[in-house]
Each structure stands twice: as structure tokens, then as C-alpha cells.
Amino acid sequence: MYRIGQGIDFHKMVEGREFWLGGVLIPHTRGALGHSDADVLLHAICDALLGALALGDIGHHFPDTDPAYKGIDSKLLLAHTYKIIREKGYKVVNVDSTILLQAPKIKKYADAMRAAIASILELTTDDVSVKATTTETLSFIGREEGIVATANVLLVRG
């Protein structure tokens, strides 16, 4: 049996924060603001995994009101989410994701992101897609005020 999930996450970009994306630290003058490390890509993947099995969302499992998650590495959140998926008898077939941001360009970091995600989800990098697009300077993304990531996952029982 197959299940499909879709996830999306938004974060404000601010000065003075590290910029974590797809489990990779990217040099930039701004970083995403959030309770955890604010890795929008990993958060979107968590939501896609949880959504595929109708298990709620990342905020339900890792509330931003819980001090245990303050500053947490989102790779740990993804690993825990994947453990929940495995306990339900499913595994990931593939991940397709898109990041919407104006800057920085992330092409040179995409393979490292794919490797980080694949490692956690017991996949090969061929099973993980990380794409990015700008908004051609339109909206809060184009003004570099925020970042958005979307993810789709396919799960199979087994």
C-alpha cells in the first residue's frame, strides 16, 4: 500500500541567525528565525511524512512551546519523525522538494542536502530531489524577508 504526503513550511529570515537548510549550514548574512534551528526544508519533509499517514503536523509532535525543542537540530526532528513512520510499518520511496528563496543560491549545497536527507531516511541520493527557485524579487521571498520549502513524499508499507 502506498501513501503520499505533502508538507510546507515558512520562516522569517533575520540577521544574526545561522542558516540551516536541508541539514546543511549555509554561509549567509541571514538565517531563518524559529524555535528550533528553523530548517524549513527538513520541517516540510517532516510534515509530508506525518501527513502521508494522517498523523498531524510537526507542531503537534514538536510544539514550539516545549523548551526541549529550543534550538534543536532539525535533523533530530526528521529522524524522530521517520522512526514514527517506520513504527507504523512504512518506509519512504522518494522525496521531492522545492525551496523558494531569493538568496543565497543553493545549487552548490543541494548534493550535501540530498545526502543528509537520504542518510536519515535510509534512501540513496537518487531518491531525494532538492530544487530551488526565486520569486524574481516578488513578495516577502523576493525581498529576502522569508523562505518557504515544500516537500512531497511517497511511502510504501514494508
Region 129-151: mean pLDDT is 95
Which residue's C-alpha cell is 517532516?
Answer: 46
| Mean of per-residue pLDDT scores for the chain | 96
**Residue in 154, 150, 153 with CA at minimum distance from that of residue 7:** 150
What pLDDT shows up at residue 29? 95
Q: Where are the domains of the chain?
A: 2-157
How sure is the predictor about 86, in pLDDT bands with cuts at 50, 70 and 90? very high
Q: How far is CA 92 from CA 21, 52, 63, 87, in A?
A: 20, 10, 24, 13
Topology at the third CATH level for domain 2-157: 60s Ribosomal Protein L30; Chain: A; (3.30.1330)
**Residue in 52, 17, 26, 16 with CA at minimum distance from that of residue 132:** 26
In angstroms, the CA 20 to CA 41 distance is 9
Region 112-122: mean pLDDT is 98
What is the value of pTM for the model shown? 0.97
How sure is the predictor about 95, in pLDDT bands with cuts at 50, 70 and 90? very high
How sure is the predictor about 41, in pLDDT bands with cuts at 50, 70 and 90? very high
What pLDDT shows up at residue 3? 98
How sure is the predictor about 34, in pLDDT bands with cuts at 50, 70 and 90? very high
